[in-house]
Chains A and B, each alone.
Chain A
Amino acid sequence: MKISKEEFLSLSGMGHEMLDAWIEEEWLIPGGSSPELSFSEIDIARARLIRDLQVDFGVNDEGVGVILNLVDQLYGMRRTLMELRHAVRTTPSG
């Protein structure tokens, strides 16, 4: 599902400036090119995670960057693990 910038702002409850700053930091990587940015559901879920980190956990901006970098590596590894599992399962043994 494609979500426009305006829809994204209303769904996430964020302000323009904050969103622009997050994109600048590459915390969010929308598709398309400015001003016709397009977002998807994963971006909304990621924005919610960042809000949780900032508001609920009290993590500052530097901390958010560090955490996201590790989170992305963690999920990259999980995806690869899942593919390996799939490859192992579908390889005939012997």
Chain B
Amino acid sequence: MKDPYESLGVAPTASADDIQKAYRKLAKKLHPDLNPGNAEAEEKFKEIAGAYGLVGDAEKRKGFDSGEIDAAGAERPRQNYYRDYATSEQDHPYTDNSGFADFMDSEDAFAELLRRSAQAQANRRGHDLAYRLPIEFIESIAGANKRLTLPEGGTLDIAIPPGITEGQVLRLRGKGAPGSGKGGFGDAFIEVEIKPDRSFTRQGDDIYLELPITLTEAVLGARIKVPTPTGAVTMAVPKGSNTGRTLRLRGKGAPMHAGGYGDQLVKLKVVLPKELDPELEAFVSNWQGGKTHNPR
């Protein structure tokens, strides 16, 4: 960073009064809000504001003159200036078009353009607002009604359609920011985030579930209850079902765009009792077929 006295154009011996005068003279010319179209002014303004922050303060000036503080520490952090907001598309109450109102009164094409532009400003549609909404896996399949509490206050009721997928965006018309004049409200966009489920996963329109079954059910077959996102159903496990066998529950998957439903695929997993049963142990040790069978 430049020497602060040099930035302000004063001698290092200048009085506090002269420093203030020099700063004010430069700042009036360079303040970014008073020079909205001049990018260079902002850089220069930062420089002189930093310089004045240092040598315009009696204490800090003493520190700088004695070498305890150096000029690098005087740079001001970038702040948002008024001009950044005043010319943004966002509506604000400070816009004043009286500076060219007379131009709008004539009959030429330029006046027509100005009138249209002023009209558009007066009746600007509100901004769209974006939110994220985390939902449960089951809600993503079965659908749900959710209420979102908005960071700026208020709530938004959202009907989640059945079968929604991760990252899908719902549009709520007219639920965005208010517009001006006859501009109407913007829209709210809700991005849906599906929380991972402990049991279910989804691939396309099909839902996958790993289901533990007992040895008895695996060997003898059984009718068992299987959870699906829309409630439990009864499923027949055929006799002699091994771990890894996948059974299909038709129509128990996610709703499809074209109508109809995907399937739920249930992958069986045979689970032995946690504590080894002595009777089972005795049976297996006497079981001749088990000794000749080699699945590897």
Interface positions of A (Cβ within 8 A of B): 1-2, 29, 31, 40-42, 45-46, 48-49, 52, 56-58, 67, 69, 71-80, 82-84, 87
- Contact status B85-A79, CB under 8 Å: no
B-side contacts of A87, CB under 8 Å: 113, 116-117
Which residue of the partner chain B has the closest CB to A53?
B31
- Contact status A45-B113, CB under 8 Å: no
Find residues 17-44 in chain B having any chain A CB closer than 8 Å to their own CB: 23-24, 27-28, 31, 33-34, 36-37
* Contact of A79 with B94 at beta-carbon distance under 8 Å, contacts A56-B27, A57-B28, A87-B113 already known: no
B23, B27, B83, B97: the one contacting A80 at CB < 8 Å is B97
Give me 7 other A-B pairs in contact (C-beta within 8 A), A49-B33, A76-B96 excluded: A29-B94, A42-B82, A45-B82, A67-B34, A69-B96, A73-B99, A76-B97
Determine the distance from Cα of A75 to Cα of B238 in the docked complex, in whole angstroms.
77
CB of B152, distance to nearest CB on chain A (Å)? 5
- Contact status B97-A1, CB under 8 Å: no
Interface size class of B (residues with CB under 8 A): 35 or more
* Contact of A78 with B113 at beta-carbon distance under 8 Å, contacts A46-B82, A57-B24, A57-B28 already known: no
The 5 closest A-B pairs by CB, nearest first: A73-B99, A42-B85, A72-B96, A29-B93, A75-B86
- Contact status A75-B117, CB under 8 Å: no
- Contact status B92-A2, CB under 8 Å: no
B-side contacts of A74, CB under 8 Å: 36, 99
Interface positions of B (Cβ within 8 A of A): 23-24, 27-28, 31, 33-34, 36-37, 52, 79-87, 90, 92-100, 113-114, 116-118, 120-121, 152-153
- Contact status B27-A75, CB under 8 Å: no
B-side contacts of A73, CB under 8 Å: 96-99
A-side contacts of B82, CB under 8 Å: 42, 45-46, 48-49, 71
Which residue of the partner chain B has the closest CB to A73?
B99
B52, B79, B84, B87: the one contacting A78 at CB < 8 Å is B87
Determine the distance from Cα of A42 to Cα of B87 in the docked complex, in whole angstroms.
10
Interface of A is mostly: helix
* Contact of A79 with B87 at beta-carbon distance under 8 Å, contacts A42-B92, A56-B24 already known: yes
- Contact status B31-A52, CB under 8 Å: yes
A-side contacts of B99, CB under 8 Å: 73-74, 76-77
* Contact of A79 with B36 at beta-carbon distance under 8 Å, contacts A56-B27, A57-B28 already known: no
- Contact status A57-B27, CB under 8 Å: yes
Which residue of the partner chain A has the closest CB to B92?
A42
Could you list 21 A-B pairs, sorted by A, with CB under 8 Å? A2-B152, A40-B92, A42-B85, A42-B86, A45-B80, A48-B82, A52-B31, A72-B96, A73-B99, A75-B87, A76-B96, A77-B97, A77-B99, A78-B36, A79-B86, A80-B97, A80-B117, A83-B117, A83-B120, A84-B113, A84-B114
B-side contacts of A1, CB under 8 Å: 152
B-side contacts of A48, CB under 8 Å: 79, 81-82
Which residue of the partner chain A has the closest CB to B93?
A29
